[in-house]
Amino acid sequence: MRAFANHRFLTLAILAAVIAVLPLVFPSSYYFRVASLVWVSALAAIGLNILMGQAGQVSLGHAAFFGIGAYAVGIGPAHLGIPSWAALLLGAALSAVLAYLVGRPILRLKGHYLAIATLGLGVLVALVISTESGWTGGPDGMPVARLTLFGWRVSGSDTWYWVTGGLLLVGTWIALNLDETPTGRAFRALHDSEVAAQVVGVDIARFKLQAFVIAAVYASLAGSALAFMNGFITPDQAGFLHSVELVTIVVLGGLGSVVGSIVGAAVLVTLPQALTVFHEYEHLLLGLIIIVSMIFMRNGIVPSLSALFFQRARS
């Protein structure tokens, strides 16, 4: 167990160091913006990874919670007079409650049926957001008031870099800890075999639901952070394609690997930025890279590379 605790501490320390050192090599605040996007996507992906990697449940509608978080901080201050920070908490609470309520029946479903049910949930939420334009501004989106904390107006790419970086650190810390708690062990048992887990007395339904709620809260917080950062939000963020992107990040980085989610987010967020030089070949290359990496690193980038590394180290 001690080794695991150290491993956890090391991971956090490396992540903190990376976040602290990166700005030294950033030539412009555009890089702060891209890095902040990585941190935000990573946060959402880490949450989803708890559901997918540890509890073994696929969600194809996870952007719905991202959207709820984002629109909560848009609608709260604009229409309901709620302060931004309270709207953020309210969004997270709303996501948790929604996840809890729909999670109960949904999580009874297995495998691809769970995927389609979450997909349906995602479609419903996205549709409501883009239709109720009186509240949400419709498909063209709505502006989001800046976040003010104790009189400090949070704005600017570099400020948001530190705020989202800090959020990611906290999120990573919680996820790593979760890994080693009885809950985390239960999750892993679930991933390996539901029936077996049940037989040894794991309350499957409860743990699945817990994972779903935690994942929803992560996504909601990430959505709120992005909305504040952009000052503007559109229904795309709650849409099917964004859900697919989140799943891709998790799988590409490595199911069940917290670090993998961060690496996956880094790859999938920066890749389109790097590929713009290829103009119309951008999508072709993006698809190709996803296919090739999944074929050769089928367990995800981080697990596959670390397996390779340990193999080399041993021989």
Partner 1 sequence: MKSPSTLKFVLAASALGFSFAGAAQAQETIKIGSVLSATGPASFLGEPEDKTLRLYVDKINEAGGINGKKIELVVYDDGGDANKARTFATRLVEDDEVVAMVGGTTTGTTMAMIPVFQDAEVPFISLAGAIEVVDPVREYVFKTPHTDKMACEKIFEDLKKRNLTKIGMISGTDGFGASMRAQCIKVAPNYGMEIAIDESYGPRDSDMTAQLTKIKNTPGVQAVVNPGFGQGPAIVTRNYAQLGMTGTPLYQSHGVASKSFIELAGPAAEGVRLPAAALLVGDKLPENDPQKKVVTDYKQTYESATKQPVSTFGGHAYDGLFILVEAMKRANSTDPQKIRDEIEKTKGFVGTGGIVTMSPTDHLGLDLSAFRMLEIKNGDWNLAQSGS
Partner 2 sequence: MAEFLQFLISGLTVGAVYALVALGFTLIYNASGVVNFAQGEFVMLGGMVTVFTFAAGVPLPLAALFAIVVSIVVGLLLHRLAIEPARGASAVTLIIITIGASILLRGVAQIVFDKQFHKLPAFTGDAPVDIMGAAVQPQSFWVLGGAGVVVLGLYVFLEHTVLGKAVLATAANRLAARLVGINTTTIMALAFGGSAAIGAVAGILVTPITLTSYDVGTLLALKGFAAAMLGGMGNPLGAVVGGLLLGLLEAFGAGYLSSTYKDAFAFLVILIVLFAAPQGLFGRRVVERV
Q: Tell me whether residue 210 or residue 257 sits nearer to partner 1 (CB atom).
A: 257
- Residue 112 interacting entry, from partner 1, partner 2, none, C-beta within 5 to 8 Å by type: partner 2
| Interface stretch with partner 1, choices 1-9, 101-109, 167-175, 295-303 (CB under 8 A) | 295-303
The answer to whether residue 166 forms part of the interface with partner 1 (CB under 8 A) is no
Q: What is the DSSP letter of 24?
A: H
Of residues 236-265, which lie at the interface with partner 1 (CB under 8 A)? 236-237
To the nearest whole angstrom, how small is the minimum distance from the Cβ of residue 140 to partner 1? 4
Max Cα distance, the chain (Å): 64
Chain position carrying tokens 């990430």:
222
What's the rounded Cα separation, in Å, for the pair 219 and 114? 18
* Rounded Cα distance, 246 and 38, in Å: 12
Q: Would you say 92 and 280 are in contact if contact means Cβ atoms under 8 Å apart? A: no
> How many CB atoms neighbour CB 49 within 10 A?
32
Tell me the β-bridge partners of 143: 232
Q: Which two tokens stand for residue 240?
A: 């099917």
- Residue 37 lies near partner 1 (rule: CB under 8 A): yes
Map tokens 């991202």 to a residue.
66
Binding site for partner 2 (CB under 8 A): 52, 58, 105-106, 108-113, 115-117, 119-121, 123-124, 127-128, 131, 193-196, 199, 240-241, 244, 247-248, 251-252, 255, 280-291, 294-295, 298-299
Give 53 or 239: the residue with its C-beta nearer to partner 1: 239
- Spatial contact of 62 and 227, defined as CB atoms under 8 Å apart: no
Can you give the binding site for partner 1, defined by CB under 8 A? 27-31, 33-34, 37, 130-131, 133, 138-141, 143, 157, 226, 230-234, 236-237, 271-280, 282-283, 285, 289, 292-293, 295-297, 304-305, 308
